[in-house]
Amino acid sequence: MSQFPIPRRLTVPEITSRKGKEPIVSLTSYHAHTAAIADRYVDFLLVGDSLGMVMHGFESTLPVPLDLMILHGRAVMRGARRALVVVDMPFGSYEESPQQAFRNAALVMKETQCGAIKLEGGKRMADTIHFLSERGIPVMAHIGLTPQSINILGGFKTQGRTREQWAIIEDDARSVTEAGAFAVVLEAVAEPLAAKITRDVPIPTIGIGASPVCDGQILVMEDMLGLSPRVPKFVKEFGQVGAAIENAIRSYAEEVRARSFPAPSNTYELKD
């Protein structure tokens, strides 16, 4: 037996049990080193399909393939030791049928060893969520602004700002809850609606642009670190990492051109 015990990861039931008791902290993560840092402070890490925009320069999340999610999911699992890791199901990998969703979700969980998957869609995905949950795959739902549906929504638009929109989104929340989702992400949802959903459903609500009334919060890590050129209104930049990186690269380039780097302290001498 190893003398170095591996820290026990948080589980899906532990996340669900925090409903109404303790705020749930989460961030996206796409690589091992940021996962290792965030792991000390968050309850779950989401390997979001936002990596397509943040890391690979796509204009939306739609081009992200399943194998890319698996690749990044493995990296995050190698970096995180304590947090629950949730992996996004990318566009086209689950919508066709519950059977397609199961095949691909099972592949993600086998290949990454993550603890849960996330998929977008409310009432229309209820049968799929039920199918997966009944077969041992924990599902985090995602309603409100669903980025994979931007071509139907007409862009990244806030949801629930008029009461006429509420019934559909509330129905989505009820449907995914009854189908067996263990938590639901509310993205870009007006505060009064987010508060009502949070009160009405027995599973945790995870807000991203849905106000502090939710049971937990998630942000794209690069957005909150100040690495993204443009961020939504709901993002607070908790750091200026982008500026720090630029300053470091500028200093490096200047020293290379001035031949002051590598210095003697960075150079190997001949052994006597």
Residues labelled catalytic: 187
**DSSP for the chain?**
--SSPPPPPP-HHHHHTTTTTS-EEEEE--SHHHHHHHTTT-SEEEE-TTHHHHTT--SSSTT--HHHHHHHHHHHHHH-SSSEEEEEPPTTSSSS-HHHHHHHHHHHHHHH--SEEEEEBSGGGHHHHHHHHHTT--EEEEEES-GGGHHHHTSS--B-SSGGGHHHHHHHHHHHHHHT-SEEEEESB-HHHHHHHHHH-SSPEEEESS-TTSSEEEE-HHHHTT-SSS--TT------HHHHHHHHHHHHHHHHHTT-SS-GGGSPPPP-
